[in-house]
Amino acid sequence: MTVSGFITAIVIGAIIGLLGRLFAPGKQNISILVTILVGIVAALLGTALASAVSSADTAGIDWVEILFQVVLAVIGVTLAARMLGGRRR
């Protein structure tokens, strides 16, 4: 992976992770680093899933791919918050 590819993965992961955190129910007591890591994984899995489901090459924004990525990020952020988030009383 090149440096530009690495930086792009971090930026896209951060955006997807933040969208996942925005749409996840409840309060998430996880760090921004965990959110970005969940977003990177969700972006990669969402891209793979979208390419497996649809073989059409879209010109422009692939909304199906973005939808898969955000849904996976919501699931990932919710799971990470339940596993890693501390309970407050």
Q: How confident is the model at residue 75 (pLDDT cuts 50, 70, 90)?
A: very high
pTM of the full structure: 0.83
Higher pLDDT, 4 or 36: 36
Provide the token pair at 75: 């699931």
The pLDDT of residue 88 is 53
Rounded to 10 degrees, the C-alpha dihedral 39/45/49/52 comes to 140
- Contact between 42 and 72 (Cβ < 8 Å): yes
Segment (H or E) for 78: helix 63-84
User: How sure is the predictor about 60, in pLDDT bands with cuts at 50, 70 and 90?
Assistant: confident
